[in-house]
Structure 1
Amino acid sequence: MATTRGRRTGAGTTPGARRNVGMKDVAALAGVSPKTVSNVINEFVHVTPATRERVLDAIRVLDYRPNSAARNLRRGRTGMVGLVVPEMDNSYFAELSRCFLREAEGTCTILIEQTLGERRREQDVLTALGERVVDGIVLNPLTLRGKALADHLRDMPVVLIGERPSNGLSDHVAVDNVRAAREAVEHLIGLGRRRIAAIGLQRDTEVGTPQLRSTGYQEALRAAGLPVDTGREGETIGYHRSDGARAMAALLERPQPPDAVFCFNDLLALGALRVLHERGVRVPEDIAVIGFDDVDEGRFSVPSLSSVAPDKDAIARTALRLLRERMDDPTLPAREHVVGHRLRVRESTASRARSGLGG
């Protein structure tokens, strides 16, 4: 279990020299009442943005550090939030976790757990964290849904992230996977590619990443008048580099190999790139490759990887905001939030002159 506690450190403050700064000092500097300062610290929503910014500026200037332990005790809280993801060694979840840690800085402690996508682990982690260890949980489920998931939502504020729909059970934050996948394939079509394969299908799973991104892939082909060839749909057991490598190798054995590949995540795409390099296939001249997630290592692969970039910061920011609101008012109706994404075009689908590390 990984933990972090965010805390601001005043610039230029030397140990032992810092005088005690109270809420009244912050209020005086900001020109507001101590009650308003308390409302800002406790993130009450009825403070105007201008007033909130004035108070936050005063807190930074004075290096004021609220007694979070006492505040949480008064509110019957621990000051800790659980973040449950499938795999910490998956680059996307590692980067997303970092966004959560950054967003939580100065407000709460994040406890990070991984489930390896196993149903038993998802249940065990929710049960363990739910026994008042944390005030709420942000969960990316891969197996739990329906009643099995609902059973864990009755006694604990939970916000779901990822592609598995919440079906109205809980607050849910995700990207529009269908639209994002469609845009990735439309980019390949715009390059003049006509034999576009997909890597990452998992036909025996319920609604989730494979189904949503497959839908966007097929929609783009049909809209362009291109056939949906199931022989170009590479199925994978997992979403790791080795899975992408195996699927790419199989696609190259076809009588007419693809001229472009849409991979359902960047790790699959990186595995595919390795096989193409080993076989002497030029990217993007012979086969263009695009991934999904925009992980850091894709910027430094050779060639650098074009990818769909979900707004990871927005996922963390929105999920934590919804969780705080849910903790304050458990009677709120379940909410669905879609965050933005963008297409980052790099060398794997464009010439070196048009791409770069910063793209």
Structure 2
Amino acid sequence: MAATMHDVSRLAGVSIKTVSNVINDYPYVREETRRRVLDAIATLGYTPNLSARSLRSGRTNVISLMIPDLRNAYFAELADSVMRAAADKGLSVLIEQFGDRREREIDVLRHPRAQMVDGVLYSVLALDEGDVGLIEEIATPMVLLGERIFNGPKDHVTMQNVEGARAATTHVVDQGRRRIVALGAHPGEVIGSAALRLSGYREALEEAGIAYDEQLVVPVGSWHRRNGADAMREFLARGVPFDAIVAFNDAIALGALRVLQENGLGVPDDVAVIGFDDIDETQYSMPTLSTIDPGRDDIARTAVELLLRRIEGAGAPFTPEEVLVPFQLRTRESTAVPALVR
């Protein structure tokens, strides 16, 4: 038969309450007593009944991460960062995908599963500031990620999109490039990653005294490799002169890189290419891809810490925090700065 808490209590020579305090990591237990209990648990192979424990405590020690698409390498790596940050706090992570459909995103947000966890990290995609009322409806503690809702009713942790794109564009300008493609635009978008990164691109051009040219702004719908490759082929067919690409994420940069090479264009000799996100693959492409590291691990760690703070203070009034994490420029072979390659 499976060992019980009573068995642990008898073997350790302590009360059941003391065993419970050790299991729940109660701080005011003498170290010698804690060690006896832990040794007894190991000897007996005792496993706490987590379901009963959660009923008593009102906590599941599980949080939810709601993201658009694990096929997007950035979100896959973000999920990994969140899971590691959560594990450091003794939390498990339930991952929910909602794709690119607004209706599906709302369904996932309102699903009963969102009420069965201690808290939610929600990477907003299709909703915007007009949907603040919907976000306010969610009683479960929540931290927002992404670039769709700023200064909303929940804590918000995100990256410096404008500043990062400006740094990427300035970097290729500093290499002497003047005909710079902005790859990944979403025409008509006012908020969101594409709009913010286009803004940073334009700011860098203005600072360098380079005229903004709509011909060099290339739309890409979903930011996947295939879409970046297709957009690059269409752009090359137009015959517009260019000498650099600032891609709004790494996946479309990698797709474009393939097409450039298929068409006999050297990178970086003919065209410098830089991406955004610093996904792992960028270090192994040919050539390795310069990119913006948006601070993914910092985003995950900060978001988990904020969420845990709201969980522990559930019901208490608070002023939502807006956190922009630092970014870094990662210069590699695709922009040919040998002295800075790392």
TM-score range, shorter chain: 0.7 to 0.9
Q: CA deviation at 1:274?
A: 0.6
Q: 2:133 aligns with which of 145, 150, 153?
A: 150
Q: 2:55 aligns with which of 73, 78, 93?
A: 73
Unaligned runs of 5+ in 1: 1-18, 27-32, 42-54
Q: Secondary structure at the match of 2:115?
A: coil
CA contact (8 A) 2:161 2:197 kept: yes
User: Compared with structure 1, are the counterparts of its residues 108 and 226 closer, same or farther at alpha carbon in structure 2 (3 Å cutoff)?
Assistant: same
Q: 2:322 is matched with which residue?
A: 336
Q: CA deviation at 1:20?
A: 6.3
Q: 1:105 is matched with which residue?
A: 87
Q: Deviations over 1:240-276 (max 9, x none)?
A: 1122112222333444421001000001100110110
Q: CA deviation at 1:67?
A: 5.7
Q: 2:26 aligns with which of 33, 38, 41?
A: 38
Q: 1:346 is matched with which residue?
A: 332
Q: 2:6 is matched with which residue?
A: none
* Identical aligned residues as a percent: 41
Partners of 1:193 and 1:40 in 2: CA distance: 63
Q: CA deviation at 1:149?
A: 4.6
Partners of 2:117 and 2:93 in 1: CA distance: 9
Amino acid at match of 1:244: G
Amino acid at match of 1:113: E
Q: Based on CA coordinates, which of the two structures has the bigger radius of gyration? A: 2
Q: Secondary structure at the match of 2:335?
A: coil
Partners of 1:21 and 1:112 in 2: CA distance: 41
Is 1:94 matched with 2:50?
no
Partners of 1:261 and 1:192 in 2: CA distance: 13
TM-score w.r.t. the length of structure 1 is 0.79
Partners of 2:217 and 2:98 in 1: CA distance: 28
CA contact (8 A) 1:346 1:354 kept: no
Q: Deviations over 1:204-256 (max 9, x none)?
A: 33400011000000000000000000000001121111221122223334444
CA contact (8 A) 2:114 2:120 kept: no
User: Compared with structure 1, are the counterparts of its residues 39 and 184 closer, same or farther at alpha carbon in structure 2 (3 Å cutoff)?
Assistant: farther
Q: CA deviation at 1:327?
A: 1.7
CA contact (8 A) 1:127 1:152 kept: no
Amino acid at match of 1:157: P
Q: Secondary structure at the match of 1:301?
A: coil
Amino acid at match of 2:170: E
Partners of 2:113 and 2:131 in 1: CA distance: 15
Q: Secondary structure at the match of 2:320?
A: coil
Q: Deviations over 1:91-137 (max 9, x none)?
A: 11111100111111161120001111211111111122555321111
Q: 1:141 aligns with which of 100, 124, 132?
A: 124
User: Compared with structure 1, are the counterparts of its residues 159 and 267 closer, same or farther at alpha carbon in structure 2 (3 Å cutoff)?
Assistant: same
User: Compared with structure 1, are the counterparts of its residues 131 and 182 closer, same or farther at alpha carbon in structure 2 (3 Å cutoff)?
Assistant: closer
User: Compared with structure 1, are the counterparts of its residues 147 and 203 closer, same or farther at alpha carbon in structure 2 (3 Å cutoff)?
Assistant: closer
Q: 2:183 aligns with which of 199, 220, 224?
A: 199
More helix by share: 2
CA contact (8 A) 1:288 1:349 kept: yes
Map residues 107-126 of structure 1 onto 2, 5 A cutoff. 107-126=90-109
Amino acid at match of 2:55: L
Amino acid at match of 2:108: V
CA contact (8 A) 2:132 2:152 kept: no
User: Compared with structure 1, are the counterparts of its residues 310 and 301 closer, same or farther at alpha carbon in structure 2 (3 Å cutoff)?
Assistant: same
Unaligned runs of 5+ in 2: 1-10
Q: Secondary structure at the match of 1:226?
A: coil
Q: 2:64 is matched with which residue?
A: 82
CA contact (8 A) 1:117 1:141 kept: no
Q: Secondary structure at the match of 2:133?
A: helix
Alignment: residue pair count: 313
User: Compared with structure 1, are the counterparts of its residues 198 and 21 closer, same or farther at alpha carbon in structure 2 (3 Å cutoff)?
Assistant: farther
User: Compared with structure 1, are the counterparts of its residues 21 and 68 closer, same or farther at alpha carbon in structure 2 (3 Å cutoff)?
Assistant: farther
Q: CA deviation at 1:354?
A: 4.0
Q: 1:283 is matched with which residue?
A: 267
User: Compared with structure 1, are the counterparts of its residues 303 and 172 closer, same or farther at alpha carbon in structure 2 (3 Å cutoff)?
Assistant: same
CA contact (8 A) 1:347 1:355 kept: no
Q: Secondary structure at the match of 1:281?
A: coil
